[in-house]
Chain A
Amino acid sequence: MSILAANSQIQNIVDLRNITKTYVNGELKVPVLKGINAAVERGKFVGFIGTSGSGKSTLLNILGLLDNPTGGQYLLEGIPVESLSDYELAEIRNKKIGFIFQSFNLFPYLTVEQNIEVPMLYARVPRKIRQARALELAKRVKLGHRLGHKPTQLSGGECQRIAIARALSNNPAFILADEPTGNLDEKTSDEIMELFHELHRSGVTIVMVTHNPALAPHYDKIIRLRDGRIESVE
């Protein structure tokens, strides 16, 4: 599929050009994003930091192709996504974006191995390859011995590691992490951030959205949001 062909020539994995988002509620128009220009370069660890009400969640939804901007252009590895069909969007979410959620969003009734396999299932990866890849990823997040367990038998930190393994399963263009340490204690948070750094060192592009300014030192590039605009880029 042409839209999915990785284009290594393009340096900007994410390229946001004057993105706006306005929610219409009857007569009332609420502008949430007021022209966002930002880029995530290949291999970078980029943090979007903003307080609640800064438009951070809306931006996250747009970055994750779960919501459409009202105006502007979003290029994902050079592909203008606003013209894509629902089917193609799902396919891009599946193969190019690795979602990580604050509350892990693992499926409690599936084993660790099955959880890691879910995105590959939707990508129609044959079973044997799926299983081999799940094992490899579980080892990568140092939980290779936990494949047969259920998420309820794991600690919060372990759950987030599994979620990270799941996000990596289809070799996405970038990881989109939404407040990944928000539900973890300080020590576990540090471990998870260390895991992100490891991934980053191995060449994975990471976009992290957070309210927590304390995480700022971790990022290559810090984009601060305030009131629907970019306040600063460091």
Chain B
Amino acid sequence: MWSELIMMLPRDILTLAIHNLLMHKFRSFLTSLGVIFGVGSVIAMLAISEGAKRAALAQIEAMGIDKIIVFSQRPPLDGQSDGNSDASVIERYGITEVDVQHVMKMDNVDRITGLFNTRKKVLKGLSRTDIKLVGADRYFMEDTPCDIIDGRWFSPSDFKNKLNVCVIGTNVKRQLFKIGSQDVVGSNIRIEGDVYKIVGIMENSYGTQYPEIGTQSNMIVIPLATARAHYNDYAFFREGNTHKIIRVVYDMLIVKVVDLMHIDNTAKRISNFFEKAHGSTRDWGIVVPFELLKQREQTQNIFTIVMASIAGISLVVGGIGIMNIMLASVYERRKEIGTRRALGAQKSDIILQFLLETVFLTTCGGVMGILTGVGIAKIITMYSGMPTVYSVWSILASLIISCLVGIIFGTYPAYKAAQQNPIKVLRSE
């Protein structure tokens, strides 16, 4: 019965719905505003949060989810170092060779890439620039999200023979060489009296920032063995007027695990080890990208729930507005309803007609809302550069939701319409 009805009536009802919509263009528009903004904000916020999520996930994943990063940090100064003049000249802290050997022996640890920041300043013309000269193990390229875009990575013999070779980041190349320089690979640079031959150029296109060290694009990397040969673990640097010597053996360790499932335990074991070995001196830190990922997802879920509630409220408000206007419409159209009843319309026919009209109205509002949301997201991307991502899923869901709003808030007016007494029409002028 109903399916038959649905098959036969649409042309009539759709014509009617469109007519009513167009007859009261402005009113329909105002009526739909709640749904338009509700759906629009859902779409825009989903697009923005999805974009932000993907960017953050890409960053975190780029650090490598099967890695644990342990880094050295300068311990906070206590008052005591004032009296001890020696301590202010030489500072020794951070991860040691012994630490590395211990971590290496732990279960689930595959391999460790050590980094040593020489804190050398690179001379370019007359100005000293803030480029980091970093000694790295051979797996550095493999275990970090970094690509050689020109030249090559160090060969085993570079490490073995402690050769003065280097791989520079793309930003470093931009700083040291003119744009369009062809023969960067193969040329030499001078770093505080030492000459290094450039064998490759690397780029970190994910923008990964490592604690204390930053991104590869801003580094010059040399073989760790070469760094040790030249500088051991000494770093000289100037702070204000005083010169300092800092001795840090490893500035960062990238620990690759065998089984991602147990990365939490491994990280905990490493933490426990360092706590015991370094005592109260907090000269180290640990980052587990996988943990960050999970935290990020949790925050994301909370954000989504908050967003959904806001959108839900605006949809409810919009739905009430629509119900209000449909009730007014039922009153205005008593004569039409009565005529239809006199011509043989069943109550169910009247209900279906008004329900479909409401659903048509809210769905139109939904479509406009989707366009509004996409527009808002586009504008935000344009002005703030924040990436936005629309999913087919979110658009479909919005359409279904606006349809549902029509059904939920159209039922009562439709019922009211069917209850109208047809007698009133015959002589009502």
Contacts and interface: CB of A to CB of B under 8 A. Distances in A.
A118 B12 CA distance: 8
A201 to B, nearest CB: 25
Interface in B328-368: 335-336, 339-347, 349
Interface centre among B11, B15, B342 (most CB of A within 10 A): B342
A84 interface: no
Interface in B1-21: 4-5, 8-9, 11-12, 15-16, 19-20
Contact of A66 (B9, B340, B345, B426): B426
Given A57-B426, A64-B426, A109-B19, A123 B344 contact: yes
B178 interface: no
Interface string B386-429: 00000000000000000000000000000000000011011101
A143 B56 CA distance: 70
Interface string A89-121: 011011100010111010101100010011101
A93 B342 contact: yes
Interface string B41-81: 00000000000000000000000000000000000000000
Interface residues of B, number: 29
Give the interface size bracket for A toward B: 20 to 34
Contacts of A94: 343-345
Contacts of B346: 87, 90-91, 122
A127 interface: yes
A109 B336 CA distance: 11
Given A114-B12, A114-B15, A99 B427 contact: no
B343 A99 contact: yes
A109 B426 contact: no
Interface in B250-300: none
Contact of B345 (A67, A90, A102, A105): A90
A77 interface: no
Contacts of B426: 57, 60-61, 64, 66, 101, 178
Given A105-B339, A114-B15, A122 B344 contact: yes
A124 B429 CA distance: 30
Contact of A61 (B344, B349, B423): B423
Given A64-B426, A101-B426, A114-B15, A124 B339 contact: no
Per CB-CB distance, the 4 closest pairs between chain A and chain B, nearest first, are A94-B344, A109-B19, A105-B339, A122-B344
25 contacts: A57-B426, A61-B426, A66-B342, A66-B426, A86-B347, A90-B344, A90-B347, A94-B345, A99-B342, A99-B343, A101-B426, A105-B339, A105-B425, A109-B15, A109-B19, A114-B15, A118-B343, A121-B8, A121-B9, A121-B12, A122-B345, A122-B346, A122-B349, A127-B8, A166-B343
